[in-house]
Amino acid sequence: MTEPEAEDRKPQSDEARSAFVPPAGVVAQPVPVEEESSTTSEFALPKGLGVPQVPATDSEGSAFSMPRTYSSKHAPPAFTPPAGIPRVDLTKDVPWQDRMRTMLRMPVAERPVPETVQKTEDEGPAVPRVLDLTLRIGELLLAGGEGAEDVEAAMFAVCRSYGLDRCEPGVTFTLLSISYQPSLVEDPVTASRTVRRRGTDYTRLAAVYQLVDDISDDQTEVSLEESYRRLAEIRRNRHPYSGWLLTMATGGLAGAASVLVGGDAIVFVAAAIGAMLGDRLAWLCAGRGLPEFYQFTVAAMPAAAMGAALTIAHVDVRASAVITGGLFALLPGRALVAGVQDGLTGYYITAAARLLEVMYFYVGIVIGVLVILYFGVKLGAELNPDAALQSSNRPGWQIAASMLLTLCFAVLLQQERSTVLIVTLNGGVAWSVYGAMHYVGEISPVASTAAAAGLVGLFGQLLSRYRFASALPYTTAAIGPLLPGSATYFGLLAIAQNDVDEGLVSLTKAAALAMAIAIGVNLGSEISRLFLRLPGASAGARRAAKRTRGF
Q: What's the confidence (pLDDT) of residue 544? A: 46
The b-or-e profile of 378-395 (16+ CB within 10 A means b, else e) is eeebebebebbeeeeeee
Q: What is the 3-state secondary structure (H, E, C) of 288-336?
A: CCCCHHHHHHHHHHHHHHHHHHHHHCCCCCCHHHHHHHHHHCCCCHHHH
Q: What is the pLDDT of residues 360-417, one digit of tens each?
A: 888 888 888 888 888 887 787 766 655 544 556 677 888 898 899 999 999 988 888 8
Q: 197: Cβ–Cβ under 8 A, 6 or more apart, which residues?
A: 143
Inter-residue contact 295 to 317 (CB < 8 Å): no
Helix (H) or strand (E) holding 415: none
d(CA 23, CA 445): 103
Beta strands in 143-243 (DSSP E): 167-171, 175-180, 189-194
pLDDT tier, 534 (very low <50, low <70, confident <90, very high otherwise): very low
Lowest mean pLDDT: which of 140-154, 230-244, 325-339, 436-450? 325-339
Would the pLDDT of 538 be above 50?
no
- Which residues, other chains included, contact 463 with Cβ-Cβ below 8 Å and sequence gap of 6+? 422, 471, 474
Q: What's the gap between Cα 236 and its chain centre?
A: 26
Q: pLDDT-based confidence at 242, cuts 50/70/90?
A: confident
> What pLDDT does 112 receive?
59
Question: Using CB atoms within 10 A of its CB, is residue 298 exposed (0-12), middle (13-18) or buried (19+)?
Answer: middle
Give me the pLDDT at residue 235, please. 86
Three-state SS at 202: helix
Residues 34-72 have pLDDT tens digits of 454 445 555 555 555 555 554 544 455 555 555 555 555
In the prediction, which pLDDT does 99 show?
Answer: 64
Interatomic CA distance for residues 299 and 297, integer angstroms:
6
pLDDT in tens, 494-509: 777 777 888 888 888 8
Gap between the Cα atoms of 121 and 263, Å rounded: 66
Q: What is the DSSP letter of 241?
A: S
pLDDT (0 to 100) of residue 403: 92
Burial 282-294 (b: 16+ CB within 10 A, else e): beebeeeeeebeb
User: What pLDDT, on a 0 to 100 scale, did the predictor assign at position 137?
Assistant: 93
The 10 Å Cβ neighbour count of residue 318 is 22
End-to-end C-alpha distance for the chain, whole angstroms: 85
- In angstroms, the Cα distances linking 238 to 144, 202, 226 are 15, 12, 20
Q: In terms of C-beta density within 10 A (0-12 exposed, 13-18 middle, 19 or more buried), how is residue 485 classed?
A: buried
Is pLDDT of 316 > 70?
yes
Alpha-carbon gap, residue 278 to 304, rounded angstroms: 10
Q: How far apart are CA 204 and CA 9, in angstroms?
A: 108
Confidence (pLDDT) at 541 = 44
pLDDT of amino acid 458: 85
**What letter does residue 168 receive in the DSSP assignment?**
E
Give the tens place of pLDDT for each residue, 252-304: 998 898 888 877 888 889 889 999 999 999 989 888 888 889 999 999 899 88
Under the banding of pLDDT at 50, 70 and 90, the label for residue 550 is: very low
Residues written for the chain: 551
Average pLDDT, the chain: 75
pLDDT at 536 over 50: no
% of the chain residues with pLDDT over 70: 70
| Nearest by Cα to 295 from 363, 379, 226, 376 | 363
What is the model's pLDDT at position 380?
A: 74
Q: Which uninterrupted H or E stretch holds 369?
A: helix 348-378
Radius of gyration of the chain (CA): 36
Over range 453-480, report the average pLDDT.
81
Q: What is the predicted pLDDT for the residue at 398?
A: 85
- Out of 151-155, 486-490, 504-508, the most confident range is 151-155
With beta carbons less than 8 A apart as the criterion, state whether 271 and 255 touch: yes
pLDDT at 110 over 70: no
pLDDT of 453: 87
What is the mean pLDDT of the segment spanning 426-446?
87
